[in-house]
Chains A and B, each alone.
Chain A
Amino acid sequence: MRTQLPLAICFTMGVLMLGQYFVPHAASQDLFRRTQEWLQAIGVFALVLGLGSLIHLHWERIRRQSANWRYSVVVLSGLVVMAGVGLVQGNLQPARKLTPTSTRQHEDGTYTFKDTTITLRSPTLAGRTLLRGDQVHIVLADGSTAAGKIGAKVADGDDGDDGDGRLTAQVVRWKGGTPPDAGTGFAVVRPGADLFSWLFKYVQTPLDATMFSLLAFFIASAAFRAFRARNLEATLMLVAACAVILGLTPPFVHAWNTLAPAMPGFPTALKDWILDVPNMASRRAIVLGIGLGAIAQSFRIILGLERTYLGGAD
């Protein structure tokens, strides 16, 4: 049963989806739409599995203090911090546009806004009410922030309790940042909510970019030490690679056009030809091969001939 049931589901869905592609009837389209919804729901389980696997692997490394276990601490810390900040603080969506009717600056540096309504949206605010005196941090369109204070009791935007996560508030007073003009768009976040953006911009982005940039160093080193014309095939590849690189080097093309005006744009044309003809022909062969292989494999899975996805026991 443990084998037969998944095989039956796989066969039924495989045949259904294969036939569905050729049937433009509304019922067929509805089946397709529903299946896509299921797919997205099932996809979430992959996240759970991946997360569980990651935590288990690194937790075990830390527990056993195996080689380089300190890196695992960094991994788990990064996971907890980013996910934590994102979940707790970062899910307030940008607010609707503000339309203040009048603005007045006070001596203490605060601003008074009359009849200024903002809308906060957040799943975490669903069913809750902001009260007079509650603090909100507001990110203005110019990137500056302002600390705002709710001036009156606010309730859910619709009927006060429908739990859609939308709250309408009257902000009457805040300090810091540039006061927005009428019609200026701005976002409202809870105190510290912009920490997630800060982490993304100043931690994840440079780290990610740095990792990718390191490739340039290794490519250059490999070009010097390993890219050798050992035989005809390697020589052809080397010449083609150099021609493409040079064709992508504007100063070289410019120099060529100046020194050989009889053949203007030759490096670019050669590069385009290499990509358009030999490269395309080889890529097309590979893609066709992959496509045919995928069709064959799909049929094997649908017909139950390929069962390794069940765990490989059968």
Chain B
Amino acid sequence: MWRFLETVDRRWVFLLVAAAVIVPTLLPFSVPMPISNSTQSAYDAVEALGEGEFVILSLGYGPSSLAELQPQAQAVLRHCFRRGLRVFMMSLWPDAQPLGTGALLEVVESDEFLDPATGRSRLQDGVDFVDVGYRVSPNTVILRMATDIAGFFETDVRGEPLAPLAVMQGIRGFDQVGLVIDLAAGDSVDWWILYGNGRFGVDVAAGVTGVIVSQLFPYLNSGQLRGVIGGGVGAAEYEALVGAPGDGMKRVSTLSVVHGLVILLVVLGNVIFVRQRRSRGEAS
């Protein structure tokens, strides 16, 4: 048994991981979601905004981090629309735009925002939200839009001029923006902190992949970030706070089982390590 574990082929580990992903995906379970301080702070930052305030949802991710950040995008959008906030969606990665548009459509056309009288969404493009799509060079985009958002972007993804849209009324630059929420798999949060918050003083919250989240705690502590939603678990936490279970909560069972497996493998690996060290000590 021990000899097998000491020399086990790593493909057995791969097989275990595959099982740990597939089984709970097919047979999901639900447990109460504990809420992290950082996710709670992000939620509170949105909650603190008044009806009609302007929120920028900046997207800096692609298909590789879809599983973690798409549920975050949907939960944040749902929260914003429930609060009656105006949403300005922009993409800092070229492949973020179709993903953002997908998330936006899914929320806007969901039953929650359906007007029973007309059978269509109560949320209107250009009135309640606007999607301006992708612009190249994140830091330049942030710096240039800071004082004239409509002037920099000019049109939305439909090609409509931005300035006359109802959603943009009363909005010139970051001074009129209630909150920026950056959903990122890369360094776009850094740009928002450096330039958006540091130079122009706009409030910034972030939703990031699990591998980035620990890097952002200094900014959270200093108040440069209003909150951080971290990875797939953060998405599930935000969904729990919003009270709208979605893909994030569905994936919690899978994440939990894989987390458990990793802990088990670490413990097992160390037991083997200690045994090997002892046997080497006895031999010498």
Interface residues of A (CB under 8 A from B): 29, 32-33, 36-37, 39-40, 43-44, 93-96, 119, 121, 166, 183, 185, 197, 200-201, 204-209, 211-213, 216-217, 219-221, 223-230, 238, 241-242, 245-246, 248-254, 265, 267-268, 271-272, 275-276, 279-280, 283-284, 287
Interface residues of B (CB under 8 A from A): 10, 13-14, 16-18, 21, 29, 31-38, 62-67, 95, 98, 120, 125, 136-137, 140, 143-144, 147, 157-160, 213-215, 217-218, 220-221, 231, 233, 236, 252, 255-256, 258-263, 265-266, 268-270, 273
Q: How far is the CB of A301 from chain B (nearest CB, A)?
A: 17
A96, B38: Cα distance in complex, Å: 41
A250 and B31: CB pair below 8 A? yes
Most chain B beta carbons < 10 A, residue from A93, A224, A226: A224
Q: How far is the CB of B42 from chain A (nearest CB, A)?
A: 14
A209, B68: Cα distance in complex, Å: 11
Q: How far is the CB of A5 from chain B (nearest CB, A)?
A: 25
Q: How far is the CB of A56 from chain B (nearest CB, A)?
A: 23
A43 and B252: CB pair below 8 A? no
A281, B36: Cα distance in complex, Å: 19
Interface of B is mostly: helix
A267, B263: Cα distance in complex, Å: 14
B159 and A121: CB pair below 8 A? yes
Q: Who on chain B is nearest to A122 by CB?
A: B159
A185, B66: Cα distance in complex, Å: 26
A39 and B140: CB pair below 8 A? yes
Residues of B within 8 A of A217 (CB): 13-14, 17-18
Cβ contact of B34, chosen from A200, A216, A265, cutoff 8 A: A265
A283, B260: Cα distance in complex, Å: 27
A250 and B256: CB pair below 8 A? yes
Residues of B within 8 A of A221 (CB): 10, 13-14
Most chain B beta carbons < 10 A, residue from A43, A96, A201, A220: A220
Most chain A beta carbons < 10 A, residue from B38, B255, B256: B256
Offer 14 A-B interface pairs, CB within 8 angstroms, sorted by A.
Answer: A36-B143, A40-B140, A43-B140, A94-B158, A224-B268, A228-B273, A245-B262, A249-B260, A268-B34, A268-B36, A272-B37, A272-B38, A280-B217, A284-B218
Residues of B within 8 A of A213 (CB): 67
User: Closest 4 interchain pairs by CB?
Assistant: A208-B63, A212-B64, A205-B63, A224-B265
Q: How far is the CB of B59 from chain A (nearest CB, A)?
A: 15
With A225-B10, A250-B252, A276-B217 known as contacts, the answer to whether A197 contacts B98 (CB < 8 A) is yes
B37 and A36: CB pair below 8 A? no
